[in-house]
Amino acid sequence: MAKQINTIGVLTSGGDAPGMNATIRAVVRTALSKGKKVVGIKRGYNGLISGDIHEMGSKDVSDIIQRGGTILHTARCLEFIKPEGQKRGAEMCKVFGIDGLVVIGGDGSFKGAEKLAGLGINTIGVPGTIDLDIACTDYTIGFDTAVNTAMEAIDKVRDTSTSHERCSVVEVMGRDAGYIALWCGITNGAEAVLLPEKKNMSQEELIRMIIENRNKGKRHNLIINAEGSSEDSVKLAKKIEEVTGISTRATILGHLQRGGSPSAVDRMHASMMGSIAVDLLCEGKSNRVVAYKEGKYLDYDINEALEMQKSISEKRYDLSKILSI
């Protein structure tokens, strides 16, 4: 017999991502429409362990769909990695009568959700990360906004780089995944992209390419560097300038990629995924993660999802061909 769900908790964990508020809004309003009580848990698993838990109504999520960040705040919780912390979290769920929990975050957040499911708390994960690094889904909340933010910033860097006939090395976020770098490399018309997932040009090859471009009359070069690649952006820029004599600047875009009003794509998928998460809990399901795959919303067992591998396909993304267009 499926577990009766009367109170649903929602938390955001790990790095924030544009669209998380849209997910929170969808969870709250979908649950209320089904006659369920909803509580918001502040600061991720830290708030769960400490009991920073508050009831949420429809008005609490008014006027947030367009806001970046997360109204519930977020934090990383080292204590929750340990079994003692996980047990404290499960006990706190029981204290507050939380029957089901929606966890919005990345793979680290899902590992915590899986532990809670094993301790009797029905949990559903919703993929919220700008990195697009969750293998079971083609889409993660925040990626679309983040990559557009980065693309627009790089366009501006290129404007000034062209004016001064410089070479620009621009570092984008993504942790160990190169999807933001890949998309920006293509959409910003970069001369080279350095990714964590593949063997990149050596410094010597990169410098030779820049010199050859100069000999052809090209007066500016743009290199996109993923933060997880083997190259240090500042050191690379210094090396290029030393060898070529071309003025070279490193620009690290940093956390601006996590901020800003979410795009229509992020608002739409975040809202759908939040609503589906509540539906799954009300159906008695647990230890699942919502995904968007090949145009359809699906759900996977969290353990299965965490075991999946994701990599940038050499066949699909032949950068030597794409970047020459």
**Which residues are known catalytic residues?**
131
Helix segments in 6-137, DSSP class H:
20-33, 44-50, 83-95, 107-118
Helix segments in 34-142, DSSP class H:
44-50, 83-95, 107-118
Bridge partners of 29?
Answer: none
Residues counted in the chain: 325
For residue 285, what are its two tokens? 């399901």
**264: Cβ contacts below 8 Å, ≥ 6 apart:** none
Judging by beta carbons within 10 Å of its beta carbon (0-12, 13-18, 19+), is residue 33 exposed, middle or buried?
A: exposed
Q: What are phi and psi of 300, to 5 degrees?
A: -125, 155
**Using an 8 Å Cβ cutoff, are 41 and 10 in contact?**
yes
